[in-house]
């Protein structure tokens, strides 16, 4: 994402100034507040409602990681009574799983890898739902944790502009992203 952000800024002739959020909840609250000009991330109900997007440029599976001593043979076996699924409060996993899980209980926790690790270690949650990069950070920081085979969804990534801009900036952004794909910046 940083490489793509740098690439977009260079093509537009502007300084790349990343805006970093402490957690998914803070990120979700940023929409409509003028805190960023372009955001790169996964499509969700939030982005569909509050931003204009480019075509998708990447897909990535969203998966679970089980805490130490907990085992699930596949992601499709997580949605059952008594299972506690941890999500970053207000994030994409929260938005998606709060609507799609029918038996498991969604536990919303302020985001961030340290909070996810602590929730898994303490048994507050049985599994944590996130993207593979976050899951790897959790697995590296929590001995005995294990990524559950299978995905619970596939995220579609795009770039977003604040809602209501003209079509021209969105089209230009889409052209830049297409060029980034052709040149290997996005793989």
pLDDT by residue (tens digit) across 135-179? 999 999 999 999 999 999 998 999 999 998 889 999 999 999 999
Backbone Cα Rg of the chain? 17
Q: What is the 3-state secondary structure (H, E, C) of 166-182?
A: CHHHHHHHHHHHHHHHH
Q: Which of 85, 72, 65 is nearest to 135 (CA)?
A: 65
Asked if residue 21 has pLDDT above 90, the reply is no
Range 112-117 contact pairs with CB under 8 angstroms and sequence separation of 24 or more: 112/22, 112/23, 112/88, 113/137, 113/138, 113/141, 114/141, 115/23, 116/86, 116/88, 117/141, 117/142
Q: Are strands 153-162 and 58-66 parallel, antiparallel or unpaired?
A: antiparallel
In the structure encoding, which two tokens stand for residue 124, read together? 């507050």
63 — pLDDT class (breaks 50, 70, 90): very high
Q: What is the pLDDT of residues 93-136, one digit of tens each?
A: 998 999 999 999 999 998 789 999 999 999 999 999 998 889 99
Query: How far is the C-alpha of 115 from the C-alpha of 107, rounded, in Å?
Result: 12
In this prediction, residue 12 carries a pLDDT of 95
pTM of the predicted model as reported, rounded to 2 decimal places: 0.74
CB atoms within 10 A of CB 43: 16
pLDDT at 90 over 80: yes
- Measured from the Cβ of residue 134, the count of other Cβ atoms closer than 10 Å reads 22
């Amino acid at each position: 994402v940083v490489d793509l952000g740098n690439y977009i800024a260079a093509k537009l002739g502007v300084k790349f100034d990343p805006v970093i959020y402490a957690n998914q909840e803070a990120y979700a609250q940023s929409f409509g507040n003028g805190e960023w000009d372009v955001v790169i991330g996964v499509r969700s109900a939030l982005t569909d409602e509050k931003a204009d997007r480019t075509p998708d440029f990447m897909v990535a599976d969203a998966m679970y990681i089980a805490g130490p001593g907990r085992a699930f043979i596949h992601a499709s076996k997580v949605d059952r009574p008594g299972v506690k699924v941890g999500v970053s409060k207000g994030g994409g996993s929260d938005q998606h799983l709060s609507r799609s899980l029918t038996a498991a209980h969604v536990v919303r926790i302020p985001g961030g890898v340290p909070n996810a690790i602590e929730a898994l270690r303490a048994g507050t949650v049985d599994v944590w739902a996130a993207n593979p990069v976050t899951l790897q950070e959790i697995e590296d920081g929590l001995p005995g944790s294990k990524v559950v085979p299978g995905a619970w969804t596939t995220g579609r990534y795009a770039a977003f502009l604040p809602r209501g801009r003209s079509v021209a900036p969105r089209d230009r952004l889409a052209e830049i992203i297409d060029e980034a794909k052709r040149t290997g910046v996005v793989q």
